[in-house]
Amino acid sequence: MKEEKDALFKYDDKPALKDIIPMGLQHVVAAVVGIVTPGIMIAGVSGLNQSDTTLMIQTSLLFSGIATLVQVFQPFGIVGSRLPVMMGASFAYVPVLMTIGADFGIATIFGAQLIGGVVVILIGFFIKKIRILFPPLVTGTVILSIGLSLFPVAIKYMAGGASSDNFGSLQNWLVALVTFGIVFYLNNFSKGTLKLASILCGMIVGYVLALFLGMVDFEPIKNASLFQVIMPGHFGLSFKVVPIFTLIIMFIVDSVQAIGQFTATTVGAMDREPTDKELSGGIMGSGLTNVIGGFFGSVPVATFGQNVGLVSVTKVINKYVFAFASAVLIIAGVVPKIAAVLTTIPQPVIGGATISVFATISMTGIRMISSQKLTPENTAVVGLSLAFGVGVALSAGCLNGFPAWVDTIFGSSEVILTTLAAVLFNLILNHGKRSKEKTEPA
């Protein structure tokens, strides 16, 4: 009996099913809200109907499960990290994808994602050579800008959605704040499963309140079939230079962020740094899954930080736990009724639950920045990058004198300009300084 329990803390051992199930479900609970919410947001601005929104949620669930299996079991021996990580639709891409979807259409998202996935596979081969461009200072600045760019998204959802007739109503804010209050309380004043499932619990309470207030429409569930095979090409593929370039930058940024997630997993739960093979395989696995996902209409997947934290706390690293969690996600992905239930979640509930997630993203960036010495050079890199990135994004029309593609890339999201500025300023202020220090005698 003790040996079966110990198997949970070993990667390749086989624990008892009664031990696998609760550990696996814990990962599903921690991930499922984050997996489905980006798809709902992107579908909303892209003008998709209820049926296609349900399909996008299905593909997000399906490919989150597939991507996790790729990471855990490492097919072909080189694709996948063989580390205990959960993959899911990433909030980091949401600001850029919402802009692309609104301006160019849903097919352009998946065309750009396909090309971006190929680039990520190449990054996996050459990751050691480009890591110099993305030290923790730069990566932290970029992650902070991602969080900042998502704050208005959450607030608009809390108010009911910018396109809704009752935007900003007291009813919307009541549901949003009750949802947020539950998440806040459980996340800060509870322990164990309630703390880990704080977002899910908050959404359940908010959903029930919205149901009593008549804000929930069950029509999508009635119209959804019981089983559906997801066919490739449903949303189409469109290839346009500006969205492709924009998404490639985001994929590069997320690849660097993935290095941090893999490192946090191995250091926190396995007491070691990840090997070059694990990092390379993990990034290539993510790229391959996103290439295939582009054909089927799945939101880009990435490592899930909340599940990394769960692994670090529990030390449970057994691959069969993650295989079980993946199976649950895949089953949910091929049953439209389950996906349709998720489309009935009112926008104030989504906003009230996700503002905590976005705050966590921002604080992750701040922690990475503060882990470095706050020298004049480093503070200049962070401050100037955010000043340009956030300042331009919040100043509508400031790039009107440039070609339209310049405004699309740099004026619609804080993330892209912040990333490029952070890399450039860091090279100017710190790279030459480090080279000089190496040549000077002690």
What does the pLDDT look like over 382-403, one tens digit per residue?
Answer: 999 999 988 988 887 888 888 8
Interior/surface letters 31-67, b for 16+ CB within 10 angstroms, e for the rest: bbbbbbbbbbbbbbbbebebebbbbbbbbbbbbbbbb
Domain assignment of residue 442, yes or no: no
Mean model confidence pLDDT for the chain? 83
Q: What is the pLDDT of residue 439?
A: 45
Question: Is 39 contained in some domain?
Answer: yes
pLDDT in tens, 174-192: 999 999 999 899 888 887 6
State pTM to two decimals.
Answer: 0.72
- Domain boundaries, position 165: 2-434
257 within domain boundaries: yes
What is the domain count for the chain? Answer: 1
Distance spanning both ends of the chain, measured CA to CA = 59
pLDDT in tens, 74-88: 988 889 999 999 898
pLDDT in tens, 7-18: 888 888 888 888
In angstroms, the CA 376 to CA 194 distance is: 43
Tell me which of 190-199, 262-271, 352-361 is least confident.
190-199
Asked if the model's pLDDT at residue 29 lies above 70, the reply is no
For residue 441, being part of any structural domain is answered with no
Strand 301-303 and strand 87-89: the pairing is antiparallel
Please check whether residue 222 lies inside any domain of the structure. Answer: yes
Q: Cβ of 84: how many Cβ atoms within 10 Å?
A: 25
Q: What is the pLDDT of residues 125-158, one digit of tens each?
A: 887 777 777 788 887 888 788 778 778 878 888 9
pLDDT band at 442 (very low <50, low <70, confident <90, very high): very low
Domain-located, residue 137: yes
Band (pLDDT 50/70/90 cuts) for residue 306 is low
Q: Which residue has the higher pLDDT, 195 or 99?
A: 99
Specify if 440 maps to a domain: no
What pLDDT is recorded for position 62? 92
